[in-house]
Homo-oligomer: A and B are copies of this chain.
Amino acid sequence: MEKISETYDTCPSEALNVSAISQSVAHQLRRAHGQFIQRFLHYFSVVNLRPTEYSVLAMIAENPGRKQSEIAAVLGIQRANFVSLMNDLEERCLTERRNVPNDRRSHALYLTPSGESLLNEARRAEADFEADCLERLGGMRARDQFLALLARLFG
């Protein structure tokens, strides 16, 4: 897939003073997130998935039948957000919730056949996205370093 052109990278006013934000982790993470979302949506446009939806589908595929609360916890998604997200995925017929025997308050999560087929397409989108990241970072070593630093910050 063609790379996205991020036009706001070319700033029309080079004389702006950015010293207050250039060395700040908070400012740079905020900025990076905006570009991450834009780039992710570009690569994943064919499957119409947002980052959290993709993470949830991937986790259910690897862990079918696990409880909502377990999947939400390992992904760091708050309960209220997770329920609304599962409602959306279920409306799109990608996932289903089944009752857990002897536990009326829990739901076990599964992908539907449509969910599995969409996830396969999404995995191809992710391979392109990851290849783009790898190229920008300059190789596997830099990628591992980046993931390790990210885990120190938010692990």
Contact = CB atoms under 8 A, between A and B. Distances in A.
Report the copy number of this chain in the oligomer.
2
Most chain B CB within 10 A, of A78, A145, A153, is at A153
Nearest to A8: B76
B13 A26 contact: no
B16 A55 contact: no
A85 interface: no
Q: What DSSP secondary structure best describes chain A's contact surface?
A: helix
A49 to B, nearest CB: 11
Interface in A53-106: 54-55, 58-59, 61-63, 66-67, 69-71, 73-78
Given A16-B63, A20-B59, A25-B146, 13 more contacts: A8-B78, A13-B67, A13-B74, A18-B59, A26-B51, A26-B126, A26-B130, A27-B55, A29-B51, A31-B55, A35-B76, A137-B152, A146-B150
